[in-house]
């Protein structure tokens, strides 16, 4: 093997306004319109998720420069705290290492942060570094990341859309539409009725042959989720997503036993690492795992999560994360479709998911994306130079 470059410098930046912190949107966006959350029991935090701080973190940008001048980068959610972790803690493992040392670096970053990490912003940050490492290695090799993961197993990706307008998503060629749930248990019977009315209305608009799902963003309890699922069967709800808080493995197992036959239980976007997903699998919590590659430990960890799932006959359909998910999904037989988050404020058109932070970000056309759209080196995207990057810490 020809001599590979080493890592010369690691830099971490933060920026605001959409992109990887996709909840950090301006007013009037569907994604912040009275969506049920675990905070909805407090009336003052019910109308807007930004009111309780869903967007406080901001985007973390990790840049890794190699000795030959090649730069790999990634974006994820992590903001200034993530910058501190990268610069003050993780950089020591990275600088001087060979660009191929991804597995060892992951192990060092994870074990060195175990005493304050494991999940949350620490694992988001490790994920960001991991994605930047894959981007760097693939660019050094002049190949797309998916080629390093074993290559595409199909010619194209097919997508479902998440957003307020599944009816428009259907017209745009998506295979299904996932609605945000608007009302949680604190809004009692009237809220439940409104949740069902919206679903019924959408079913009427989209007809029979289109998937409809409800994303509950951790907002329910087993009793409410069971009632919702059973009532939603009338409208052929395909899956009920993230109905419960992520630590309630026991609740998920019970919910999965309670839902009507044929309806799927999905979760995992706020779960992390092979150990978290092992719990979901061994406790029979769900039918589809939905890790977010920017939060679960990066590509390195997602490969392990996926293998665990595959051995149990489970699907992995990653949460959001744009190109970072696409390069993975195209390589796995047990990831037969992908999510596309509609970031247009009214969910009425396809715009790049991480806009405005990335350039050259591919988007589905007619709900599909050719594998050839993912053929540029690395993850195939560039950081938009118009974005206002801030480097709060250095080392
Ligand atoms: C719509 C959901 O509340 C959330 O913003 C996105 C999400 O959980 C998903 O895409 O899945
Ligand atoms: Mg979700």
Mean pLDDT of all residues in 82-90: 98
Atom of ligand 1 nearest to the CA of 319: 11
Please determine, for residue 364, whether its predicted confidence score (pLDDT) is greater than 70.
Answer: yes
Q: Nearest residue CA, atom 2 of ligand 1? A: 180
* ipTM, interface predicted TM-score of the complex: 0.99
23 is in an annotated binding site: yes
Q: How many CB atoms sit inside 10 A of residue 121's CB?
A: 19
CB neighbours of 72 closer than 8 A, spacing ≥ 6? 63, 64, 66, 132, 133, 134, 135, 136, 137, 138, 139, 378
Q: How many CB atoms sit inside 10 A of residue 270's CB?
A: 20
CATH code where residue 190 lies: 3.20.20.120
387 phi and psi angles, rounded to 5 deg: -80, 145
156 is in an annotated binding site: no
33-82: pLDDT as tens digits: 999 999 999 999 999 999 999 999 999 999 999 999 999 999 999 999 99
My answer on whether 180 and 258 are in the same domain is yes
217-255: pLDDT as tens digits: 999 999 999 999 999 999 999 999 999 999 999 999 999
Predicted pLDDT at 185: 98
- CB of residue 180 inside a 6 A radius of ligand 1: yes
Let me know: does 17 contact 343? Beta carbons within 8 Å: no
Instruction: Please state the domain count of the chain.
Output: 2
Q: Is residue 39 part of a domain?
A: no
- CB of residue 277 inside a 6 A radius of ligand 1: no
Mean pLDDT of all residues in 269-290: 98
> Would you list the DSSP string of 272-303?
-HHHHHHHHHHTT--SEE---TTTTTHHHHHH
Q: Is residue 2 part of a domain?
A: no
Which domain does 105 fall in, by range? 7-21+57-143
Q: Is residue 30 part of a domain?
A: no
Identify any residues that bridge with 76 across adjacent strands, giving them in sequence order: 60
As a whole-number percent, the residues of the chain with pLDDT over 90 amount to 99
Predicted pLDDT at 325: 98
Q: Is residue 45 part of a domain?
A: no
My answer on whether 198 and 255 are in the same domain is yes
CATH code where residue 85 lies: 3.30.390.10
My answer on whether 163 and 266 are in the same domain is yes
Q: Is residue 111 part of a domain?
A: yes
Let me know: does 13 contact 159? Beta carbons within 8 Å: no
My answer on whether 298 and 316 are in the same domain is yes
Closest among 152, 108, 123, 143 to 335, alpha carbons compared = 152
Instruction: Note if the bond before 308 is cis, omega within 30 degrees.
Output: no
2 pLDDT band, cuts 50/70/90, is low
Predicted pLDDT at 359: 98
My answer on whether 171 and 275 are in the same domain is yes
As a whole-number percent, the residues of the chain with pLDDT over 70 amount to 99
29 is in an annotated binding site: no
The pTM of the full predicted model, rounded to 2 decimals, is: 0.98
129-181: pLDDT as tens digits: 999 999 999 999 999 999 999 999 999 999 999 999 999 999 999 999 999 99
Predicted pLDDT at 291: 99
Give the pairing of strands 358-359 and 264-267: unpaired
My answer on whether 71 and 11 are in the same domain is yes
My answer on whether 214 and 348 are in the same domain is yes
Give the pairing of strands 59-66 and 71-77: antiparallel
Ligand 1 pocket: which of 180, 213, 239, 264 to mutate (most atoms <8 Å of CB)? 180
My answer on whether 155 and 253 are in the same domain is yes
Out of 111, 143, 175, pick the residue that ends a domain. Answer: 143
Atom of ligand 1 nearest to the CA of 241: 11
Please determine, for residue 1, whether its predicted confidence score (pLDDT) is greater than 90.
Answer: no
My answer on whether 125 and 175 are in the same domain is no
96-136: pLDDT as tens digits: 999 999 999 999 999 999 999 999 999 999 999 999 999 99
Average model confidence (pLDDT) across the chain:
98
- CB of residue 177 inside a 6 A radius of ligand 1: no
Point out the residues that are catalytic.
319
My answer on whether 169 and 310 are in the same domain is yes
My answer on whether 68 and 209 are in the same domain is no
Which residues sit with Cβ closer than 5 angstroms to ligand 2, an ion? Answer: 215, 242, 269
């Amino acid at each position: 093997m020809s001599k590979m470059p080493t890592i010369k410098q690691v830099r971490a930046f933060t920026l605001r306004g959409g992109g990887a912190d996709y909840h950090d949107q301006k007013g009037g966006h569907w994604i912040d319109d009275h969506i049920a959350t675990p905070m909805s029991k407090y009336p003052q935090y019910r109308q807007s998720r930004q009111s309780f701080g869903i967007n406080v973190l901001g985007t973390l940008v990790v840049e890794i420069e190699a000795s030959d001048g090649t730069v790999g980068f990634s974006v994820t959610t992590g903001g200034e705290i993530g910058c501190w972790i990268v610069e003050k803690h993780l950089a020591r493992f990275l600088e001087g290492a060979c660009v191929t040392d991804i597995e060892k670096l992951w192990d060092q970053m994870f074990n060195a942060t175990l005493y304050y990490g494991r999940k949350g912003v620490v694992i988001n940050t490790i994920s960001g570094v991991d994605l930047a490492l894959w981007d760097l290695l693939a660019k050094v090799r002049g190949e797309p990341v998916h080629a390093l993961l074993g290559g595409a197993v199909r010619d194209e990706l097919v997508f479902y859309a998440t957003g307020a307008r599944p009816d428009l998503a259907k017209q745009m060629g998506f295979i299904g539409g996932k609605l945000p749930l608007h009302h949680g248990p604190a809004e009692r019977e009237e809220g439940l009725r409104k949740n069902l009315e919206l679903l019924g209305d959408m079913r009427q608009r989209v007809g029979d042959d289109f998937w409809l799902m409800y994303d509950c963003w951790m907002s329910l309890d087993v009793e409410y989720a069971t009632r919702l699922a059973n009532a939603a069967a009338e409208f052929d709800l395909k899956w009920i997503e993230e109905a419960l808080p992520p630590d309630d493995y026991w609740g998920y197992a019970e919910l999965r036993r309670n839902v009507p036959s044929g309806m799927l239980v999905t979760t995992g976007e706020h779960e992390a690492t092979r150990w978290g997903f092992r719990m979901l699998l061994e406790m029979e919590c769900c039918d589809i795992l939905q890790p977010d590659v920017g939060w679960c430990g990066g590509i390195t960890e997602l490969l392990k999560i996926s293998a665990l799932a595959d051995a149990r006959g489970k699907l992995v359909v990653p949460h959001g994360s744009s190109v970072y998910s696409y390069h993975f999904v195209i390589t796995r037989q047990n990831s037969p479709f992908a999510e596309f988050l509609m970031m247009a404020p009214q969910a009425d058109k396809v715009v790049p998911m991480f806009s405005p932070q990335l350039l050259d970000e591919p988007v589905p056309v007619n709900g599909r994306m050719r594998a050839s759209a993912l053929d540029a080196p690395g993850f195939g995207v560039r950081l938009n130079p118009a974005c206002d990057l801030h480097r709060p810490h250095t080392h």
